Structure 1
């Protein structure tokens, strides 16, 4: 009876420099319904895997030229390959098993092997492969669904925003002050929802590798000045200060602090960091400081707000990681900011103390 557990025949690559061993493995596995490819050395195995990745690899440890350990390491270090289970075949003592497992192999079997044991180990590793493939497929489907959903949500949200704006302007008829106040609340709520949807859409574009950055020469002090100008009214409403400090730059910031990057995305990061600082600060103020050293342009956004608990700081940049503060949002803004900075070959970090405020720092390579 066939042991193949999925609707598609599993392909197994057997690698051994001894022809008789390959023929034996081929005979055993083909009789169970598996499709077998045979190669006799490590270089040929890597070429075969790159051309057509198998579902499982049976790999002899001792081969001339490139041994099974090195083949395993190269497979595991190839970022373009999905997970492929590797079953090492060895005739040696325990230390060779340890070395193989450390190199990235999943299991081992010693020569001369028992047929039933070989088939059991093959079935076990293929079950693991199928399970991981199914999880990866479900994750792709889930992300595709969310991406499509957020994209489709934008259309009615934009339409609602325009219609509410017309109501507020009394385009259709006169409205009472109470109604104007209610409409203003609806407009703010709708904008918050649209911002959340846009952020979620951008996150999934990054996750799917579909985000294209338009690199150009960017003046960070200029971008920061625009952000401060836009967000100052929010700070004024809370009676807190918002200041930009470029005093450590030569020529007061002119012809300095340039980076190669996407100006809109870098502006998004600064807008998010400063906006968050305003949200979580009730007294004191926020300062944005820009300076540079030999290789980096540095930005620090410091506030005198609530601060972030130590147990939350380690995961603050992870997707959907919300803070404990009741004002915390979706947990996407900081994750997106970190993805944007990473895409610019930069670094983002945090220092914070509960009750004393937080400082987010950004490092970007100088132009």
Structure 2
């Protein structure tokens, strides 16, 4: 089993990019890596769920239409698991009205329509990374020092 929990010095954050189209995965990867993000990719929702706890991403991007497990069902599963329920999720897809409504109902944080501008991708990922960091700080404050030391 591969381990993804290594720390990359100077990385702006870790993003798990999930898309069945290899070209799209690489396009997203290159754009994020150029801006200092560490990127791990998965080819579909099932692979995402297999690696997400080892990867420990700051943000997850999901396509909607993928084999085995689509993006909306993947997002719902991520939200149902304690280890991933608070990781910010963005849908990067054609973003039909149905996809947006379904995504909102399962807790998706942001939507980016394909084709997208690289600057929009970076804006969305940075906003979600910051949202995730603020949420983590709130959770740690709420836990208190005794709870944190038990882990």
Q: TM-score, normalised by structure 2?
A: 0.85
Unaligned runs of 5+ in 1: 1-6, 145-206, 211-367
After superposition, give the CA deviation of every residue in 1:31-70 in whole Å (9 maximum; x if it has no partner). 0000000111111100110223211001001101210011
* Residue 69 (str. 1) matches residue 76 (str. 2): no
Give 1:78 deviation, angstroms. Answer: 0.7
* Residue 91 (str. 1) matches residue 89 (str. 2): no
Give 1:133 deviation, angstroms. Answer: 1.1
Name which structure has the greater RCO, CA cutoff 8 Å, separation 6+. 2
1:154-193 alignment runs, 5 A limit: none
2:137 equivalent in structure 1: 134
CA distance in 2, matches of 1:116, 1:9: 16
Q: Tell me which of 33, 36, 47 is aligned to 2:36.
A: 33
CA distance in 1, matches of 2:51, 2:129: 19
| Number of residue pairs aligned between Structure 1 and Structure 2 | 140
2:19 equivalent in structure 1: 16
CA distance in 2, matches of 1:52, 1:26: 15
- Cα separation, partners in 2 of 1:143 and 1:82, compared to 1, 3 Å: farther
- Cα separation, partners in 2 of 1:131 and 1:8, compared to 1, 3 Å: farther
Give 1:95 deviation, angstroms. Answer: 1.7
1:115 equivalent in structure 2: 118
Give 1:28 deviation, angstroms. Answer: 0.4
1:104 equivalent in structure 2: 107
Unaligned runs of 5+ in 2: 1-9
Q: TM-score, normalised by structure 1?
A: 0.36
What is the alpha-carbon root mean square deviation over aligned residues? 1.8
CA distance in 2, matches of 1:57, 1:39: 10
CA distance in 1, matches of 2:78, 2:32: 23
* Residue 45 (str. 1) matches residue 48 (str. 2): yes
